[in-house]
Amino acid sequence: MKIHCLQHLKNETLGNIGTWVSQKGHRLTKTLLYKKPVFPEPEKFDMLLIMGGTMSVYQEEEFPWIRPEKEFVKKAIDMGKPVLGSCFGAQLIAEVLGGKVTRNRFKEIGWHRVKALAGENTNNEEEIISELPSGLFPEFTAFMWHGDTFEIPAGAVRLFESEACQNQGFIYGENVLGLQFHPEADRQWIEKLIEDSGHELVEGKYIQSKEQILRDEHFLENSRNIAFSLMDWFEKRCEN
């Protein structure tokens, strides 16, 4: 499979997802938005991955590449390409599909519990959610670093929520997945993010300290398992 990645910051890399791509033997290309925002033709890739960033999707004046990125993502979705976004990437997908992106009531940084929404949807939605990897039920712990949130676009199925953020994930159609949390978070990824954005680790109800974030090794293993199981599930879903 040919996978293309939209990367917005030097250190917000694919992390665990990059490991999955490598182990699967897939081909990977990237657009580095912080260097040169040049987008390939959608015919040249089979799946699009949209990573996180400290910017917001409504900051088009400050980051002039955001508007053409939205147009590129919309084109890929309209062509039926599998598209997956995490954090900023999910917010961008949500806006492209007609959902609003706004400030969340709380900043959510660190390891937090996420609930899978089984039993809270229509029959068709329940069928979609029941196909999610079993390790996500009823709850799992995932890494967060965000201050914005997205509306669930019309026609999409809400998949996850956390205490601090009602909308933690959605799927649209068969092959568009938005995740507010960061399944890509491995130790190096987290350490680099703290290095770049550690000034955000202030006192807050859902903001953990650097020491809290780094001390729990089992969360890192769990993050890797979540990334691999979600990517396996998404890949299989897109092949059907």
Tokens representing 193 are 């993010």
φ/ψ bin of 119: left (φ > 0), alpha (ψ from -120 to 50), beta (otherwise): left
Catalytic pick among 8, 112, 146, 182: 182
Q: Is 184 a catalytic residue?
A: yes
Catalytic pick among 151, 161, 184, 235: 184
Catalytic pick among 87, 95, 161, 238: 87
Q: Is 182 a catalytic residue?
A: yes
SS (H, E, C) the chain: CEEEEEECCCCCCCHHHHHHHHHHCCEEEEEECCCCCCCCCHHHCCEEEECCCCCCCCCCCCCCCHHHHHHHHHHHHHCCCCEEEECHHHHHHHHHCCCCEEEEEEEEEEEEEEEECCCCCCHHHHHHHHCCCHHHCCEEEEEEEEEEEECCCCCEEEEEECCCCCCCEEEECCCEEEECCCCCCCHHHHHHHHHHHHHHCCCECCECCHHHHHHCHHHHHHHHHHHHHHHHHHHHHHHC
Q: Is 235 a catalytic residue?
A: no
Catalytic residue numbers, as ranges: 87, 182, 184
